[in-house]
Amino acid sequence: MVKIGILGVGTVGTSVAKILEENADIIEARAGKKIVVKSGVVKNINKDRGVSIKISDNPLDVVDDPEIDIVVELMGGVDEPYALVKKALENGKAVVTANKALLAYHRYELQEIAGDIPLMYEASTAGGIPIIGALRNGLSANHIDSIQGIMNGTCNYMLTNMINNGALYDDILKESQELGYAEADPTFDVGGFDASHKLLILASIAYGIDAKPEDILIEGIENITQTDVDFAKEFGYEIKSLGIAKKVGNGVELRVHATMIPSESMIAKVDGVMNAVTVVGDRVGETMYYGPGAGGDATASAVISDIVDIVRGNQGPMLGYKKGLESGLKLLSKDDISTQYYIRLEVEDHSGVLAAITSSLEEFGISIESMLQKPTQDEAIATLLFTTHTCKEKKMQEAITALGKLDVVSGEIAMMRIEK
């Protein structure tokens, strides 16, 4: 019999306890041993969790309990779980965590501390989708060319509604909050931060890149308008908030942002709150993994798959490699990202304006791929929408600043990146 202690018996923790009990038949058959939850730790011991496990408000009751074999960390936060996971590993206990923030900041220290003790985290990224296993095991023969992930259900739900139903950003945000898909302060989701944590975890397995959220380009979906949506449709794109990791020579681009992607690509077809991750390996080509990115039971499914793996005696280093993965791979600076861009700006509607803009772009070596001009309410002002050929982020940022200074350009300039 294997005994589990759960730090944080909230929605996911409760699901873990319930599934281990209700699906005990199949889980025991697969793991080869009976798995039971011995105890759990919560902040408020007076709240009923609907599960019949011993509850304490002292994490050490789990972490220091010699009878507990596997500690499941579902607390959230960074510093406290880091200290507790560290202690559990030092006590020789295997650890399963769903905590993406903990890993976004401390995965390399934790791999070091864990050594040969299993520390697993399938639930940290894309909820119920076994993407960690796919990347860590299933694709191990491959150098990874790129990863593109829809890893935030809130953003995808909102964008799907903006594109398929013409919903306005503010309206669909409000609806998402009412449905419980978005928090009262939605910044962590719509700002791309949640996805950035997950991207960093995947990038570590794929590339061995040690970066923190503040090192990479993170942008949200807050500035997308129906004008952008209409343009995307007209030119055969969907708009998705993607976490992107891409190997370019000896560099790796890591970025999270709203992205125009061809409508016919598989990941463009992923709608609503669902998550999906596309991985391109140098040998296998493109594979995609699709499923629910959140929810108590779906996340618990991933947590328990890790527990079963540990009970089966599976080994292997936490991040999937025992020594430096690909020597020389470095995080590319934001400036060096290179991609195609979509630009929306308002201009005075008279002759010579287009020439002024294209010649301004040319100064930065940027050429236009496609263009659309639309009238606005104001007769004197037109909306200009265009896409560029591939250029460096630094040049594009400089070009946007320069365009903003042109007399003929009025208001904010909006930009979105394109991935083909």
| Residue 134 DSSP code | I
Q: Is 139 in the site for its own copies (CB under 8 A)?
A: yes
Torsion of CA 142, 146, 150, 155, to 10 degrees: 160
* Binding piece for its own copies, criterion CB under 8 A, among 152-160, 173-181, 254-262, 275-283: 275-283
143 lies in the binding site for its own copies (CB under 8 A)? yes
Q: Under the criterion CB under 8 A, does residue 4 sit at the interface with its own copies? A: no
Would you say 129 and 98 are in contact if contact means Cβ atoms under 8 Å apart? no
355 lies in the binding site for its own copies (CB under 8 A): no
Burial of 255 (0-12, 13-18, 19+ CB in 10 A): buried
Q: Binding of its own copies at residue 389 (CB under 8 A)?
A: no
In the complex, minimum distance from the CB of residue 201 to its own copies, in angstroms, rounded to a whole number? 16
Return the range that interacts with its own copies (CB under 8 A); candidates 55-63, 82-90, 319-327, 359-367: 319-327
Residues 290, 342, 364, 386: which binds its own copies (CB under 8 A)?
290
**Following CA atoms 64, 65, 70, 74 in sequence, which dihedral angle do they give, to the nearest 10 degrees?**
-60
- Please identify which residue in 43, 54, 212, 312 interacts with its own copies, judged by CB under 8 A: 312
Per CB under 8 A, 325 contacts its own copies: yes
Among 111, 137, 223, 225, binds its own copies (CB under 8 A): 137
Quote the CA–CA distance of 206 and 355 in Å, as a whole number.
44
* Helices 193-207 and 100-114: angle between axes, nearest 10 degrees: 30
Greatest CA span in the chain, whole angstroms?
80
Residue 251 binds its own copies, judged by CB under 8 A: no
Least CB distance to its own copies at residue 142 (A): 6
CA 190 to chain centroid:
11
Distance CA 369, CA 341 (A): 9
What phi, psi does 89 have (nearest 5°)? Answer: -65, -45
Place of tokens 């003790």: 117
Q: Which is nearer to its own copies, 322 or 405 (by Cβ)?
A: 322
Q: Which of 34, 58, 83, 140 binds its own copies (CB under 8 A)?
A: 140
Q: Which residues lie below 8 Å from residue 172, measured CB to CB, with a gap of 6+?
A: 157, 158, 161, 162
Stretch of 19-27, 51-59, 247-255, 382-390 lying at the interface with its own copies (CB under 8 A): 19-27
Helix (H/G/I), strand (E/B), else coil: 408: coil
Of the candidates 33, 45, 41, which has an alpha carbon nearest to the alpha carbon of residue 3?
Answer: 33
Q: To the nearest whole angstrom, how small is the minimum distance from the Cβ of residue 21 to its own copies?
A: 12
Q: Is 309 in the site for its own copies (CB under 8 A)?
A: yes
Q: Is 314 in the site for its own copies (CB under 8 A)?
A: yes
How many residues bind its own copies (CB under 8 A)? The answer is 64
List strands edge to edge, sheet with 35-41.
54-56, 35-41, 2-7, 70-73, 94-97, 119-120
Side chain identity, residue 52: S
Name residues contacting its own copies, limited to 29-58 (CB under 8 A). Answer: 29-32
Tell me how far, at minimum, the Cβ of 95 lies from its own copies, in Å: 18
Q: Which residue, 264 or 379, is less far from its own copies as judged by CB? A: 264
**Annotation says 93 is catalytic:** no
Is position 128 an interface residue for its own copies (rule: CB under 8 A)? yes
Tally of CB atoms within 10 A around 75 = 23
Binding its own copies by CB under 8 A: which of 91, 111, 287, 360? Answer: 287
Nearer to its own copies, 23 or 373 (CB): 23
Q: Which is nearer to its own copies, 60 or 266 (CB)?
A: 266
Q: Is 235 in the site for its own copies (CB under 8 A)?
A: no
Nearest alpha-carbon partner for 247 in 137, 337, 132? 337
Annotated catalytic residue within 38, 93, 100, 198: 198
Side chain identity, residue 195: A
**Binds its own copies (CB under 8 A): choice among 65, 122, 189, 238:** 122
By annotation, the residues acting in catalysis are 198
Contacting positions for its own copies (CB under 8 A): 15, 19, 23, 25-32, 122, 128-130, 133-134, 137-143, 266, 269-270, 281-292, 295, 297-298, 300-305, 308-309, 312-317, 320-327
